[in-house]
C-alpha cells in the first residue's frame, strides 16, 4: 500500500517520466490525457492527514472519471456531488448511496426527483439546499430526510472572480437569513448541518479571507445550536489550491489545518471538508503533438493538436497551465505562443512563454490538467474528445477511449 508520507506537496511537470509520456503518446496518440491514480491517492491521504478529526469528502465535480472515483473510494473517501449525474456516477463506481452528499445549485426538476427518490431509499443521503425555494420543492416531493443549509457568507476568494462562490448570490442563503431558515427547516426535514464554499484555487494569499468566511459560518452554527438545533456537521467546502505557476509555493497542509481549526473554534458539530482540485489537479497531464511552427512578427506561433475543446480553462478563466517540451527539454528556451486548431483567437494555451525550442513533431505536456480538464472538454468544431489513460506504478490502462466522429454525431436525428 502506498502512502502520502514523503510525497512532495506538488508535482511539477519536470517530475513526470518523460520517456514514459513519450511512449504513451506513441501508443495511444494525441491529444491524450494521462492520469496517475497513485498520485490521486497520495494527495487525498496528505489532505486527510491534515484534518484527522474531520469528515473529508471528495468533490466529484473536479473530475468524475470512474478511475478517479474508484481510486478514492478504495482509500475510504466519501463523495460530494453537485448534480444528478455525479450521484449516479459515484454509485456506479461503488459508492454507498447512504454516504453521499448532494449539494444542489438551482437543481432542475429531474435532478431533484432523482435525489429525493434516492434519499427515500437511502436515509443516510444528505441533500444540501441553497435556497428556501429548494426546501419547498423537496417538501412538495414528499422528501423529509437529511438536509443541510448552504450559507452564503458574503466572502469569496480564489484564483478568478468566476470561482469566488462565497460572495456570489447564486450560491447559498444569505448569512443574515440562515437562522430564520434553520428555525423552519426542522419542521419538515432532518437538519444535519451547515455548508459553505468560499471559492476555488485558494493558496497562501487567500487563506485570510478563507478563514474569515469559516469564522462566519462557525458563528452561525453556534447561534443555531444555541437556538436548539442539533447539527451533525459544519461543512466548509473545499477550494484548497495547488500552484499552477512554477514560482508558486504549495500549501503547507499542516499549517492550513491549524488555521482552519482555529477559525472554526469550538464546535459541537464535526468539521467537514470537500477537496477536489487539491486531490486531482497535479495528478494528470495532457500530451499534445506540434504540427505547425510559424514565425510571425510578434512571436513564434506553435500549433498543436490539442485545443480549447481539450482544455478550456485558459480561455474560460485566463488560467495558467505549465507547458514543457517532453521531446527535448534540454534545448534552449524560446518565447512562443502555443495554440490549437480551433477557429477562434481564444484557442491559445499561452503567449510569450519560454519553452524549450520547439520543432514540428515534438511532444508537449500541459500540466495540472486533472481538475476541470476533461470535465470541461467539448466537441467544439466537431472534434472527438481525447482518450484518457491511467498509470499506477507499472500498470497502464485506457480508462476512456478516444471518441470518433460517429460518437460526435450519434445523437443527431435525420
Q: Give catalytic residues, as residue numbers.
A: 343
Grid cell 426538476 — which residue?
A: 109
Phi and psi of 158, rounded to 5°? Answer: 135, -170
DSSP state of 332: P
Q: How far is CA 163 from the centre of its chain?
A: 11
Give the torsion through C-alpha atoms of 123, 124, 128, 132, to 10 deg.
Answer: 30
Alpha-carbon distance of 230 to 288, in angstroms, equals 53
CA–CA–CA angle 162, 164, 166 (5° rounding): 140
Alpha-carbon distance of 52 to 34, in angstroms, equals 31
Alpha-carbon distance of 234 to 225, in angstroms, equals 11
Coil, helix or strand for 13? helix
Grid cell 485558494 — which residue?
A: 202
Alpha-carbon distance of 311 to 221, in angstroms, equals 39
Contacts of 403 (CB under 8 A, 6+ apart): 379, 384, 385, 386
Cite the DSSP H helix spans in 75-128.
84-92, 109-121
Give the torsion through C-alpha atoms of 49, 12, 279, 307, to 10 deg.
Answer: 180
CB atoms within 10 A of CB 376: 16
The answer to whether the CB of 4 falls within 8 A of the CB of 43 is yes
Between the two ends of the chain, the Cα-to-Cα distance in Å is 53
CA–CA–CA angle 283, 238, 195 (5° rounding): 150
Give yes or no for a cis peptide into 171 (omega within 30° of 0).
no
CA–CA–CA angle 407, 410, 414 (5° rounding): 150
CB atoms within 10 A of CB 187: 9
Amino acid at each position: 500500500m502506498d502512502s502520502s508520507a514523503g510525497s512532495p506537496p506538488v508535482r511539477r511537470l519536470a517530475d513526470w517520466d518523460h520517456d514514459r509520456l513519450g511512449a504513451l503518446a506513441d501508443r495511444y496518440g494525441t491529444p491524450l490525457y494521462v492520469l496517475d491514480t497513485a498520485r490521486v491517492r497520495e494527495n487525498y491521504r496528505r489532505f486527510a492527514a491534515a484534518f484527522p478529526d474531520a469528515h473529508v469528502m471528495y468533490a466529484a465535480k473536479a473530475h468524475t472519471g470512474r478511475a478517479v472515483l474508484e481510486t478514492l473510494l478504495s482509500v475510504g473517501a466519501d463523495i460530494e456531488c453537485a448534480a444528478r449525474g455525479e450521484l449516479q456516477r459515484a454509485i456506479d463506481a461503488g459508492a454507498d448511496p447512504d454516504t453521499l452528499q448532494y449539494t444542489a445549485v438551482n437543481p432542475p426538476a429531474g435532478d431533484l426527483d432523482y435525489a429525493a427518490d434516492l434519499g427515500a431509499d437511502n436515509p443516510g443521503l444528505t441533500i444540501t439546499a441553497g435556497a428556501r425555494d429548494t426546501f419547498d420543492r423537496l417538501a412538495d416531493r414528499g422528501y423529509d430526510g437529511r438536509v443541510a443549509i448552504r450559507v452564503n457568507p458574503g466572502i469569496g476568494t480564489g484564483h478568478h472572480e468566476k470561482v469566488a462562490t462565497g460572495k456570489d448570490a447564486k450560491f447559498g442563503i444569505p448569512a443574515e437569513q440562515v437562522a430564520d431558515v434553520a428555525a423552519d427547516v426542522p419542521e419538515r426535514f432532518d437538519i444535519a448541518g451547515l455548508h459553505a464554499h468560499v471559492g476555488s484555487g485558494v493558496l497562501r494569499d487567500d487563506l485570510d479571507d478563507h478563514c474569515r468566511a469559516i469564522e462566519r459560518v462557525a458563528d452561525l452554527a453556534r447561534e443555531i445550536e444555541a437556538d436548539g438545533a442539533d447539527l451533525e456537521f459544519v461543512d466548509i467546502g473545499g477550494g484548497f489550491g495547488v500552484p499552477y505557476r512554477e514560482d508558486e509555493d504549495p500549501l503547507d497542509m499542516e499549517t492550513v489545518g491549524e488555521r482552519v481549526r482555529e477559525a472554526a473554534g469550538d464546535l459541537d458539530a464535526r468539521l467537514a471538508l470537500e477537496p477536489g482540485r487539491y486531490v486531482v489537479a497535479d495528478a494528470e497531464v495532457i500530451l499534445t503533438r506540434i504540427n505547425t511552427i510559424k514565425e510571425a512578427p510578434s512571436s513564434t506561433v506553435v500549433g498543436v493538436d490539442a485545443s480549447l475543446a481539450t482544455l478550456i480553462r485558459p480561455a474560460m478563466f485566463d488560467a495558467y497551465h505549465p507547458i514543457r517540451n517532453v521531446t527535448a527539454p534540454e534545448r534552449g528556451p524560446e518565447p512562443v505562443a502555443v495554440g490549437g486548431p480551433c477557429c477562434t483567437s481564444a484557442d491559445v494555451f499561452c503567449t510569450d512563454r519560454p519553452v524549450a525550442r520547439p520543432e514540428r513533431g515534438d511532444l508537449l505536456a500541459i500540466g495540472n490538467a486533472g481538475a476541470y480538464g476533461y470535465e470541461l472538454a467539448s466537441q467544439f468544431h466537431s472534434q472527438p474528445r481525447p482518450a484518457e489513460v491511467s498509470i499506477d506504478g507499472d500498470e497502464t490502462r485506457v480508462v476512456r477511449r478516444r471518441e470518433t466522429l460517429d460518437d460526435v454525431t450519434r445523437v443527431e436525428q435525420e
